Structure 1
Amino acid sequence: MEIVLTKAFGFLFMIGVGFGLKRGGLFSQKDTDLLSRLVMKITLPMVIISNFRTLSLDVSFLTDIALGFITNLMAISLVLLLTRKKQPSERAFFIINASGYNIGLCTLPFMQSFFAPDAVAVVCMFDVGNAIMVFGITFTIATLITKGKDNVSVKEIFKTLFSSMPFVAYLVMISLCSLKIQLPNIVFDLATMMGQANTFLAMILIGIMFEPKMKKSVLKDMGSVFVLRLVIACVFSFLIYHYLPGPLLHRQILSIIVFSPILSIAPIYTERCGYDRSAAAVLNSLMLPFSLIIMTILLIVLKLY
């Protein structure tokens, strides 16, 4: 227990350092663009590549990919039902922020510090299905609601999806594994070296993005999304742990990662759909430490570390 609490505190400490550096004037919100590019386009793809070093695909991984897709789709379906009487921009806010998981910037580096690569691969496979949704389909659904189908093209959807380097990295590595093509060891060595910076950069970035300011007019919607995400996560976690076929460790990891925080680019998508970006930014900032705390508690309760 002491080890898991120390590591969890370390993550929160790094987030606090990032926030403190921003408040001290060393960094600003403008710096998040550079840092997010470093993480999303370099260090995170390198982590994904390095995790495939000893990985061999089996049927269980196909289940993980499908689960990442289905959990998002079910959450969106529930949101569409519950928000059917709200304004289009409000519905888009709920769709974008009540579904989707920030696996790359938060959950992956968090779980990577506790588990071996073969166990972390479960997280990666879940994120493949998750990435298909959050980087393409989810935003498309939100845009259709707010702007109408005439303003969304197939070309735009594919451009959004394939501009995501983590998604491309997953796609390439899964394809290579399926074809039983093994990359040279030097590629994995370099990927491992570069990927080691991912955890620190990701946590510092999240700390810089933390925004405690909020408008009273959007507090109700923020509270509703917060509660809705928690309820959905609890239901998914229970069903996965007790009813999903597969090894116990497999089910335990999946039952934890459904508590992952909101996607880091949710504020950008929210603004594009005509809703207050600050509401999504504050909600994102609050959900992150909350999610880390829940995942840490689950690690202890399930005796995984």
Structure 2
Amino acid sequence: MEGILIKAFGFLFMILLGYVLKRIGLFSAKDGDVIAKLVLKVTLPMAIISNFASLQFQPSHLIPIAMGFATNFVVIGLVLILTRKMAPARRGFFLINGAGYNLGLCVLPYLQSFFPPESVGIICMFDVSNAMMCFGITFTIAMIVAGGEHKPTKKEIAHILFSSVPFVTYLVMIVMAVLNLHFFTPVYTVAGMIGQANPFLAMFLIGLLFEVKFERSQVRDMVEVICIRFSTAILFALFFYFCLPVPLEYRRILALVVFGPILSVGPVYTERCGYSRSVAAVLNSIMLPVSLFVITVLLVVMGIS
């Protein structure tokens, strides 16, 4: 337990450091854009490659991919039912922010400190289908429901997916794992060296982006989204942990990832659905540290160090 708390406080300090340095003027929100590009296009892909170094693909690995699709579809269906009497733009807001998980920027760099690389590969499996849902299917459904003027075309959806360096990296590494192909050992060594910077940069970025500014009239929508996310996460976690026919460590990881925060591009997609971008940004800022706290508590309960 002591090891978990030390690591958890270490990550919390990284987030706090980013926030404090922004507040005193050493960094700005614009610096966050540069760091975000560095994380998403360099350190995170390198961390993914490193985590696949010793992964031997098994049929059981298809389960986390299927669960990535299933969790998103279940939440989408639930949100469509619960919001059927709401205004179109609000429904779009609930869909974009209620379904999907920000794993690459938050959960993956955090959990890779507690699990071996071959187990962290399960997060990557889950995130491939999760990314396809978030960037493609969920966004499309939200735009249709919200009645936005610009419906994403198949070409635009494909561009969104395949312009994502982490997503493409996931696909390449999974295909290589299925075909039992591997890079030369020095590639994984260098990738691991670069990928080691990912946890710090990702947590520091969260601190830079953290802001809490909202109107009281919008609190209800934020609270309802949080309730939807955590209520479904609890149900998913219980099902994964007690029912899935996979090794215990896999079940533990899957039970943790469903408590991941909202997708980082949620505010952008929310605005395209006709709802306030600032509300989604505040909700995103709140969910990041809350999700990390919940995951830390679960790590302690599971006895993982």
Q: TM-score with structure 1 length normalisation? A: 0.97
What is the aligned partner in structure 2 of residue 259 from structure 1? 259
Q: Is 200-209 or 24-33 further displaced after alignment? A: 24-33
What is the aligned partner in structure 1 of residue 9 from structure 2? 9
Moved over 4 A (4+): none
What is the aligned partner in structure 2 of residue 287 from structure 1? 287
Matches of residues 138-153 of structure 1 in structure 2 within 5 Å?
A: 138-147=138-147, 151-153=151-153
Q: Equivalent residue of 1:107, what SS?
A: helix
1: distance between equivalents of 2:150 and 2:44? 35
> Between Structure 1 and Structure 2, how many residues are aligned?
305
What is the aligned partner in structure 2 of residue 36 from structure 1? 36
Letter in 2 for 1:190: V
2: distance between equivalents of 1:242 and 1:196? 32
Q: TM-score with structure 2 length normalisation? A: 0.97
What is the aligned partner in structure 1 of residue 221 from structure 2? 221
Matches of residues 198-237 of structure 1 in structure 2 within 5 Å?
A: 198-237=198-237
Matches of residues 86-105 of structure 1 in structure 2 within 5 Å?
A: 86-105=86-105
- Cα shift readout 1:167-197 (whole Å, capped 9, x = no counterpart): 1001111111222222111211111111111
What is the aligned partner in structure 2 of residue 82 from structure 1? 82
1:148: how far off?
Answer: 5.5
1:146: how far off?
Answer: 2.2
2: distance between equivalents of 1:62 and 1:104? 19
What is the aligned partner in structure 2 of residue 21 from structure 1? 21
Contact 1:212 1:285 in 2 (8 A): yes
Contact 1:144 1:152 in 2 (8 A): no
1: distance between equivalents of 2:237 and 2:105? 21
Q: Equivalent residue of 2:29, what SS?
A: coil
Matches of residues 59-208 of structure 1 in structure 2 within 5 Å?
A: 59-147=59-147, 151-208=151-208
User: RMSD over aligned Cα, in angstroms?
Assistant: 1.3
1:149: how far off?
Answer: 8.8
Letter in 1 for 2:233: A
1:150: how far off?
Answer: 7.2
What is the aligned partner in structure 2 of residue 45 from structure 1? 45
Unaligned runs of 5+ in 2: none
Contact 2:148 2:273 in 1 (8 A): no
